[in-house]
Amino acid sequence: MTIPNSDGPPQEVVRLMDAAQVVAASQQCTHEVIRDCWNTRVVASASHYDRAAPLLVDDDEATDRAKQALARYHAVLRQGYPERMALSLRNARLTGQGAVLTRSGALIAETVAEFTANGLVPTGLLRADADTFRVPRATRRISHPCLLAQRPWYRNYGHWLVDCATVIALASSLGLTDRMSIVIGCYENPAMEKVVRCTLEEFAWRSEILIHPDEEVWE
């Protein structure tokens, strides 16, 4: 659906869907020659892990609110997680801090969860209504397969380590990085960029690295 926009390029409406819904929708469209998803597979079954309580919490200078929040976090000693899938998408679009949109106009919920969980509009998108967003048309096309290693708040070291570096390490262990370019975000801080580059040299030294600025829309 194209929306006129006098302030910039035409925009398209996309609807928030989780990965499982995207896969189900693509499987229902078997009559199409080119579907949104292909080679979709489970890389981690739903499960849980246990963790020990902290031995020491240095919260003497914390506010009462912060202390209460920490106490709630530390009380959870078993963490569950849902099934995780690897999706290969044809003609997908990438915008903001790793927001992924399928060819048919679905915004994959897992790629913007940090924003939506806090009631925020993901970077690169505009709110249309409760569960739909507007996104500008793509301005650059990448013609070969890519592995996405860009997620919300990726400039933070913790988010890079937990959300992005783990994806690259897993892909490397599966032998995927030798055949793909890797898309990362744009790190303005020299020290943080050095950390990212060192990680890439460790796990994906044969891969072409593509730097995706938050404000660009790629297909």
Q: Provide the residue ranges of all domains of the chain, joining segments of one domain with +.
A: 1-52+65-137, 138-219
- The tens place of each residue's pLDDT in the chain, 219 residues long, gives 233 333 445 567 888 888 888 888 877 765 555 578 888 888 888 999 999 999 999 999 999 999 999 999 999 999 998 888 888 898 999 999 999 999 888 899 999 999 988 889 999 998 887 778 888 888 899 998 899 999 999 999 999 999 999 999 988 888 877 778 999 999 999 999 999 999 999 888 888 999 999 999 999
Which tokens in the block code for residue 116? Answer: 């939506």
CA distance 10 to 215: 15
CA distance 14 to 24: 17
CA distances from 72 to 20, 54, 66, 150 (A): 30, 12, 10, 29
Pairing of strands 146-148, 181-185: parallel
Its sign, for the CA torsion 106, 96, 160, 194, is positive
Pairing of strands 106-108, 11-17: parallel
CA distances from 163 to 7, 54, 97, 149, 168 (A): 34, 23, 12, 8, 9
Which tokens in the block code for residue 63? Answer: 């506010």
